[in-house]
Structure 1
Amino acid sequence: MTSDQRPALAAGDYTLGTDLPVTRLGFGSMQLTGPGVWGDPKDPDEAVRVLRRAVELGVNFIDTADSYGPAVAEPLIRRALHPYPDGLVIATKAGLTRTGPDQWVPVGRPEYLRQQVELSLRFLGVDRIDLLQLHRIDPKVPLADQVGALKELREEGKIRHIGLSEVSIADVEEAAKVAPIVSVQNLFNLANRTAEPLLDYAAERGIGFIPWYPLATGRLAQGDGPLATLAEQRGVSPSQLALAWLLKRSPAMLPIPGTSSVAHLDENVRAATIELSDAEFDTLSRAV
């Protein structure tokens, strides 16, 4: 298969830890569930097609979580891709419980985290999870205890690497006293860059930065906004430009745009082939 048929490869690789290379443009599985990230998708067969197509396009980094569904996205990934091709990295998360659609409650008790990791191993059909991220820090449980539980699972060979989600620099520093942290996953996109200090901190320390909600562009993509204007000039979509901007922003950036549509997936992944000039990057950066 040619590089044109596997456009994700144009984004290049990033190595998590010292031994886990991933394509810098990955795929997020949250949208493969029902409304409110609750229940089964409207079209499970299309969800399977999306996952298989992502791998065909060169994506080897898939992000998921036990709470997507809950327990819907992980079994879908297994149904679509198991036995997994060599080099495919599936990152999952634990630490958020679900009480209904759009409801998320952090639970970081060590026994709960262990239970959820064991379930993820079963749902994904693997003996070891390549990257397990603490989905949210539970304020009722010492962070050292939450990361400590994941460290124990890593020592048992059930987790390869540990990451964190929606954290501060101070959180990362505290967690790193317990176990090495190879990734952080925070809200970040062209229109919302509040996590920029964390991004730079992570990049300087060899920690991958996974922006969730990477395609939120708001007014920038509307009418005569700068994103829409440049997209028209380049003959691409505003969402493709937004992803291209993320990829250029930092070599540690690992966007994981998600979708439930094969057509939209193809469009997102081809953003990896778009090279922004420094002037174009600066224009978009200044737009917010």
Structure 2
Amino acid sequence: MGGCFGVFEREDIVFGSVHYYVVKEISRGGKAVVHLVRNASTHQLYALKSITAFENQEKEVALREVSLLEKFKNHPNLVHMYDHTVAQNSDGKGEQIYILLQYFPNGTVQDLIDTMEKEKRTLPENEVLRILNGISLGLSVLHKNDPPLAHCDIKPLNILLGEDNLPVIIDFGSVTDVTNIDKNFAALKRNIQEQMHSLTTPSYCPPELVDLKGIFEDFVLDERIDIWSLGCLLYALAFHMNPFDLEVLKGGSLRMAIHSGNFSFPSQQTYSKDIEGLISSMIVVNPQDRPYIDTILNNIKMLT
């Protein structure tokens, strides 16, 4: 496929010779909007991500995301991209990068967490580990790339759930080549600082990305940025909250709690100490002391 898109207001989108109809908006954030669209002929549903780019650098970032999606589209734990195209905005200012993606009606891990909390239920431990294993397998593909890649934005909202709760990692816009991480580090930190002043707090970000005082500037940073975030996600999946929420509820600072790695486990829980140990092994302040993804996968295997 290829070609141009029509105008969203008409709810009729043409991608090459294939027509799609906009069903609804799924999500919106930053310069990206995701719509649910339906193929007019087959009635198949897809997710259509549109990224607004006014500057060449913004376009380059979006096209890099497309390139990564194309490279990893056949892995079951990484979102599948069907096609993409670039179109001029109707007002002549900037461009839209459109990415046609696999649609997941079951929503995100965050949706699952919210449902479990609302219904006062918890997932069985083996199901928690199965979801964690799938996410880890997806991360392993990125981390073992040559050069290694860090996702840099692992959180429940960025994990979709397929059939049988198969976890699928999405949003490759923050993926960073760890050999160039020093070059990209300032931009990553700026993005986190912007989040600090928005409605969404960077609860899943490691201390080196929330490092506003330069504490971690001399550390070697690598793909284990994702390991901290994965530990926070596991905590949320098990206990329906971020590991640092309790500290904030006590009146503490989220930023300071992340810097210190200060968190605790709920007094009443249904999971084994093995889950606690797995979480604690990942939420480690010094990035050089965190395990690599292969160690996480081996630990999961020993627990299942």
Q: Point out the structure with max Rg over C-alpha.
A: 2
TM-score grouping bracket, smaller chain normalisation: under 0.3
TM-score normalised by length of structure 1 = 0.25
- Give the number of the structure with larger relative contact order, counting CA–CA contacts within 8 Å between residues 6 or more apart: 1
